[in-house]
Amino acid sequence: MKFQCSSCALRMDSFHFKQEGLINPKLTSICDICLQRGLNAEDYANNVVEVFAKTLLYTFVGKTDVEGEECNFIVNNQKLRKRYESFLQDYDGNELATAQIPRHDFNQAIIRSEDGEIDFVPDQSREFKYNLEQMGMQVNFDLNEVDYIDRERIRAKYHYRCQYCGRRGTSVDHKDPVSISHNNDLDNLILSCAECNRIKSNMPFDLFEKLNNQISAINKKLVKYENSLGTLREEFEKRRREIAAKMHLKGVVNDPELNTLRSQNKKLQDGIDSLQSDYDALRKMRETHFSNGWKIACENRKTDIV
Ligand SMILES: [Zn+2]
Ligand SMILES: [Zn+2]
């Protein structure tokens, strides 16, 4: 759920407008960034927020008289607004960033950029990390610094197999996300493949494990795909080398035998490509299973709709 701020005109997630009140939550006519500027929500009208507040039995903080509603926004240019909006969304959705940069500091950087004190406006086409740096902020996105010896020990302990899906894995991964626990103890470390590591990301270990257990048959299939593709690729390479050796022996580039071998190998390559695309489709499906499970778990935790 998004609201538009009556002062800066940015559209952002409703929690930027919500304050817990003594009896009821309050919804403000302007966003938390504009409040941090020292602006007063009571000076601004915001009809949409007002209607929502009424419907949800929240207190509305703002002007209830819409006459003479302000249309001189802090960020008047719509293109610039889009850039701030997507930067805000990146921050709101990133646990590592929100854990390391206090919201107050983040808001202050936005204010300084809006006011031209920082000569930079976040760029949607650049990485989040780059935008943060240009805005004078830094996040360590790789907190899981485990030393080399430990990594090797973990890899050997699990025989280079991902403990989630069973495919080959070398990523030493935290059961509990580092952003939450900062726990580098050996029993919080597990071996995973790059794919599971990426999918798990900041998801709590228990949830990831539960979702993973629901699809053990699919995981077994993925292992089969990986093994078959590996064997088939080796066979393809072996045949390619044989053709090269024969060519060298015969001293010719083309003859019926060589052409037959080449065409066989071409067919093998097509078969491998087709198996690879089945494998990719299954991987994609598995990833959707996790991302939906994660979304549902987050939604279940929230009791309010704004
Ligand atoms: Zn605002
Ligand atoms: Zn895996």
Three-state DSSP string of the chain: CEEECCCCCCEEEHHHHEECCCCCCEEECCCHHHHHCCCCHHHCECHHHHHHHHHHCCEEECECCCCCCCCCCCCCCHHHHHHHHHHHHHHHCCHHHHHHCCHHHHHHHHHHHHCCCCCCCCCCCCCHHHHHHHCCCCCCCCCCCCCHHHHHHHHHHCCCECCCCCCECCEEEECCCHHHHCCCCHHHEEEECHHHHHHHCCCCHHHHHHHHHCCHHHHHHHHHHHHHHHHHHHHHHHHHHHHHHHHHHHCCCCCHHHHHHHHHHHHHHHHHHHHHHHHHHHHHHHHHHHHHHHHHHHHHHCCCCC
- Among all chains, which residue has been given the structure tokens 């759920």? 1
pLDDT of 215:
98
pLDDT at residue 186 tops 80: no
Residues whose beta carbons lie less than 5 angstroms from ion ligand 2: 162, 164-165, 193, 196
CB of 191 within 8 A of CB of 170? yes
Ligand nearest to the CA of 200: 2
pLDDT-derived band at 99 (thresholds 50, 70, 90) equals confident
Question: Can you state the angle between helices 216-250 and 205-213, rounded to 10 degrees?
Answer: 80
| Among the ranges given (87-101, 170-184, 270-284), the one the predictor scored with the smallest mean pLDDT | 170-184
Among the bound ligands, name the one nearest to the CA of residue 166.
Answer: 2
Please write the tens of the pLDDT for every residue from 193-242: 999 988 988 788 899 999 999 999 999 999 999 999 999 999 999 999 99
**145 pLDDT exceeds 80?**
no
* Distance from residue 136's CA to the centre of ligand 2 (Å): 36
Asked if residue 258 lies in contact with residue 250, where contact means CB atoms within 8 angstroms, the answer is yes
Nearest to 103 by CA among 27, 12, 235, 237: 12
Ligand 1 (ion): which residues have CB within 5 A? 5, 7-8, 31, 34
Cα 199 to ligand 2 centroid, rounded to whole Å: 9
Full-prediction pTM beyond 0.75?
no
pLDDT the model gives residue 304: 87
Measured from the alpha carbon of residue 75, the closest ligand is 1
Give the Cα separation of 166 and 179 in Å (integer).
25
